[in-house]
Amino acid sequence: MNEQLKYGVADNTFQAVGGQPGVTQLVGHFYDIMSSEQEYLGIWNLHPKGNVESRDRLARFLCAWMGGPRLYKEKYGPISIPGVHAHLTIGEYERDQWLACMHKALLIMDYDQALVDYLMRQLAVPAERIFQRCQKALTDK
């Protein structure tokens, strides 16, 4: 089946990752890896420690982003992804670290390679927007 059709339509991506439990597990791996592996220390250091909502916020956001229920909006209200990152120093290095960490988390989930490839391509889009926004915030200062 055409990959774009398979994953880009309705809630197909959300279903393919295992719905809300799957997204929650994925985000759990993402945070566990980021907080424990030396190579992600740079992006881990950007995260406020002891924020018990961080995992919940990312997981809820990704549910809707994958075509599932709007769980972030339901609990936390509207969000602009570049906006919530604008105060952070995110360069190419941090952007790529975030994506690499998510890639590792996706591989632990044992998804189809086509799904992993699709998600990595799609995640690169907001990651790039965040990077551009943070660069702009720096040059506007």
Judged by CB under 6 A, which of 48, 50, 77, 78 binds ligand HEM? 48
Residue 17 and residue 114 in contact, taking contact as beta carbons nearer than 8 Å:
no
125: how many CB neighbours lie within 10 A of its CB? 10
| Burial class, 106, CB count within 10 angstroms (exposed 0-12 / middle 13-18 / buried 19+) | buried
Using rule CB under 6 A, residue 51 touches ligand HEM? yes
Please list every residue from 75 through 104 that binds ligand HEM, using CB under 6 A: 76, 79, 81, 84-85, 88, 90, 94-95, 98
Residue 53 burial (C-beta neighbours within 10 Å; 0-12, 13-18, 19+): exposed
Choose between 2 and 59: whose C-beta lies nearer to ligand HEM. Answer: 59
Is 30 a binding residue for ligand HEM by CB under 6 A? The answer is no
Which residues are at the interface with ligand HEM (CB under 6 A)? 43, 46-48, 51, 54, 57-58, 61, 65, 76, 79, 81, 84-85, 88, 90, 94-95, 98, 123, 126-127, 130-131
